[in-house]
Structure 1
Amino acid sequence: MKTRHKAMLDGVQQAIISGDSALALARIEALAKRLERDRIEPEARPRIEQSLLHLRRLAEDSARGTQRAIDQIKDILQSVRMLQTYDQAGRRHQTPTDAAMPQRF
């Protein structure tokens, strides 16, 4: 595998790990253009494919972790919206909140 290809693959990995999806996408597109332009030696192809499979697994794991975090935040907000308080007379009051659901992307 060429040094430039390895550096580009490492750059994609770092962008995925840091959670910078825009940078990861830009680096993936640059890598795809570079691989189209360069000739890949037959002996380097399995290693590149293995690296791409690793990046795919990393991205999928990241997406699953993000979805779990989103689900947890939704559960927390649901609980907060259902908070019940009691006044000095012991009467229960349900206090709904109008907190907006956070969104990222």
Structure 2
Amino acid sequence: MTTFDDREQGFERKFALDQEQEFKATARRNRALGRWAAGLMGLEGRHADDYAQAVVRSEFKEAGDDDVLRKVFEDLKGSGVAVTESDVRMKMAEFMAQAREEAKAGK
């Protein structure tokens, strides 16, 4: 195996690790966003946990964050919570930054 092959495999491993960390961070972000929204809607205990899991599952409906944003925003609006899409986007960004740091730290 040549040095070039070793280097290529190193890049592939790094890419795979980065993708895995991003996947974990996204799931963690969605769980935190679900808990935040559940609190705003007055959900507690098992109901809050179930809602957070529903938000995590909503990520798999289509590519990107729009499905998660839409679910949380519509659920909050439907529950009578005065929130804008911008508020939800800001929380998503805040939770994503936290999640990425936690994923890097191996938490």
Give TM-score scaled by structure 1 length: 0.40
Higher strand content, 1 or 2: 1
Whose relative contact order is higher, 1 or 2, with alpha carbons under 8 Å and at least 6 apart? 2
| Bigger helix fraction | 2
TM-score (norm. length: structure 2): 0.39
